[in-house]
Amino acid sequence: MSSSKAINYGSCFLCGDAGHWKVDCRWLDYPCVLGCPDTMRVRWSGQEHTKGLRFPRCNSAPRCNGYKWIDVPTKAKGKAVEVEVERNEVKNKEKSKEEGKLKLCIDGVIKMNIEGNVSDVTELVRKLAF
């Protein structure tokens, strides 16, 4: 049996991680990272430099190009590899500056204060909810 998917016995059938079942998987019905109304599905990369790494991709593809790396590639053949990020990240950063979008970086336990309009805060909370 030759498959690029390395799923361990007793692991989730959706993401391949151990410790939970598909029905409890955080990636089940995961909302699109680009905000389209569809959900995302976990896939495994077939590219040589990222082969076997997991990423959810929007079910609306090719209309929507939303995806997000689950496994972040750090080394390939002994040298550092840049991680390919969402295709529209640069456009989204420029767009977010124009539209007054929020950016929140959390590193550890912190007290939090969010400022912005209601729709931006609501969108941020929706994206943070796994």
Q: Which residue has the tokens 């590219």?
A: 47
- Residue 12 included in any domain: no
Task: Count other Cβ atoms within 10 Å, centred on residue 49.
Answer: 12
- Residue 3 included in any domain: no
Q: How many domains are contained in the chain?
A: 1
- Residue 85 included in any domain: yes
Position 104 scores a pLDDT of 62
Q: What is the pLDDT along the chain (130 residues), one digit of tens a residue?
A: 444 455 556 788 888 888 888 898 888 888 888 888 888 888 888 888 788 888 888 888 788 888 788 776 554 444 444 444 444 444 455 554 555 666 666 666 666 677 777 887 777 777 776 4
pTM for the model stands at 0.45
- Residue 102 included in any domain: no
Give the range of the structural domain holding residue 83, as residue numbers without chain letter.
Answer: 22-95
Q: Which of 49, 50, 52 is nearest to 3 (CA)?
A: 52
Position 8 scores a pLDDT of 52
- Residue 2 included in any domain: no
- Residue 31 included in any domain: yes
